[in-house]
Amino acid sequence: MPGMVQAEKVITFFEDGTADVTARSILSGDINTLRVKLTPEQYDQWQGGIHIQVALFHLSAEEREFLISGITPAEWEEEFKEPDEVVGREESGE
Protein backbone atom coordinates (compact mmCIF):
# COMPACT_ATOMS: atom_id res chain seq x y z
CA MET A 1 0.00 0.00 0.00
CA PRO A 2 1.49 3.37 -0.91
CA GLY A 3 2.71 5.51 1.96
CA MET A 4 2.51 2.66 4.45
CA VAL A 5 5.45 0.73 5.84
CA GLN A 6 4.67 -2.97 5.90
CA ALA A 7 6.66 -5.87 7.24
CA GLU A 8 8.36 -8.33 4.94
CA LYS A 9 6.18 -11.39 5.16
CA VAL A 10 5.58 -14.89 3.86
CA ILE A 11 2.11 -16.40 4.14
CA THR A 12 1.34 -20.10 3.93
CA PHE A 13 -2.37 -20.82 3.54
CA PHE A 14 -3.95 -24.06 4.73
CA GLU A 15 -7.16 -25.81 3.63
CA ASP A 16 -8.74 -25.31 7.07
CA GLY A 17 -8.95 -21.52 6.54
CA THR A 18 -5.87 -20.67 8.56
CA ALA A 19 -2.50 -19.33 7.54
CA ASP A 20 0.96 -19.12 9.00
CA VAL A 21 2.21 -15.56 8.65
CA THR A 22 5.96 -15.15 9.00
CA ALA A 23 7.00 -11.52 9.21
CA ARG A 24 10.03 -9.42 10.03
CA SER A 25 9.24 -6.88 12.74
CA ILE A 26 9.73 -3.29 11.62
CA LEU A 27 10.80 -2.53 15.22
CA SER A 28 13.31 -5.23 16.06
CA GLY A 29 14.06 -6.93 12.77
CA ASP A 30 13.18 -10.26 14.41
CA ILE A 31 11.33 -12.83 12.32
CA ASN A 32 8.25 -14.34 13.96
CA THR A 33 5.42 -16.62 12.85
CA LEU A 34 1.78 -16.39 13.87
CA ARG A 35 -1.08 -18.69 12.83
CA VAL A 36 -4.30 -16.78 12.10
CA LYS A 37 -7.71 -17.47 10.54
CA LEU A 38 -7.07 -16.14 7.05
CA THR A 39 -8.00 -17.21 3.53
CA PRO A 40 -6.31 -16.13 0.31
CA GLU A 41 -9.50 -14.28 -0.65
CA GLN A 42 -9.53 -12.27 2.59
CA TYR A 43 -5.86 -11.43 2.18
CA ASP A 44 -6.45 -10.35 -1.43
CA GLN A 45 -9.31 -8.07 -0.35
CA TRP A 46 -7.01 -6.30 2.11
CA GLN A 47 -4.17 -6.04 -0.39
CA GLY A 48 -6.66 -4.80 -2.98
CA GLY A 49 -7.41 -1.72 -0.90
CA ILE A 50 -10.10 -2.68 1.59
CA HIS A 51 -9.17 -1.48 5.07
CA ILE A 52 -7.72 -4.25 7.19
CA GLN A 53 -10.37 -3.64 9.87
CA VAL A 54 -13.05 -4.43 7.27
CA ALA A 55 -11.40 -7.21 5.27
CA LEU A 56 -10.02 -8.96 8.34
CA PHE A 57 -12.58 -7.88 10.95
CA HIS A 58 -12.49 -11.33 12.56
CA LEU A 59 -8.84 -10.94 13.59
CA SER A 60 -7.83 -9.27 16.84
CA ALA A 61 -6.15 -5.86 16.75
CA GLU A 62 -2.88 -7.57 17.72
CA GLU A 63 -3.16 -10.06 14.84
CA ARG A 64 -3.91 -7.26 12.35
CA GLU A 65 -0.95 -5.26 13.68
CA PHE A 66 1.29 -8.28 13.18
CA LEU A 67 0.11 -8.60 9.57
CA ILE A 68 0.86 -4.94 8.93
CA SER A 69 4.12 -4.45 10.79
CA GLY A 70 5.39 -7.81 12.03
CA ILE A 71 5.31 -6.38 15.55
CA THR A 72 4.36 -8.97 18.18
CA PRO A 73 2.26 -8.02 21.21
CA ALA A 74 5.34 -8.43 23.44
CA GLU A 75 7.43 -6.09 21.25
CA TRP A 76 4.59 -3.56 21.15
CA GLU A 77 4.29 -3.59 24.94
CA GLU A 78 8.05 -3.19 25.41
CA GLU A 79 8.39 -0.40 22.85
CA PHE A 80 5.38 1.63 23.94
CA LYS A 81 5.21 1.03 27.68
CA GLU A 82 4.34 3.95 29.90
CA PRO A 83 7.26 5.93 31.36
CA ASP A 84 6.22 5.05 34.93
CA GLU A 85 6.53 1.36 34.02
CA VAL A 86 10.15 1.96 33.02
CA VAL A 87 10.89 3.84 36.27
CA GLY A 88 9.19 1.16 38.35
CA ARG A 89 11.33 -1.57 36.81
CA GLU A 90 14.54 0.39 37.31
CA GLU A 91 13.70 1.07 40.93
CA SER A 92 12.89 -2.57 41.62
CA GLY A 93 16.18 -3.71 40.07
CA GLU A 94 14.64 -5.46 37.05
Q: Does 72 reside within a domain?
A: yes
Below-50 pLDDT ranges, the chain: 1-2
User: How many CB atoms are closer than 10 A to CB 48?
Assistant: 8
d(CA 92, CA 44): 48
Helices (H), ranges, 1-94:
40-47, 52-55, 61-69, 73-79, 83-92
Q: In what order do the strands lie in the sheet with 9-13?
A: 9-13, 18-24, 31-37
Structural domain of residue 55, as residue ranges? 9-92
Q: What is the C-alpha to C-alpha distance for residues 27 and 70, in angstroms, rounded to an integer?
A: 8
Give pTM, 2 decimals.
0.78
Number of domains in the chain: 1
Task: Provide the pLDDT for residue 2.
Answer: 46
Asked whether residue 84 is assigned to any structural domain, the reply reads yes
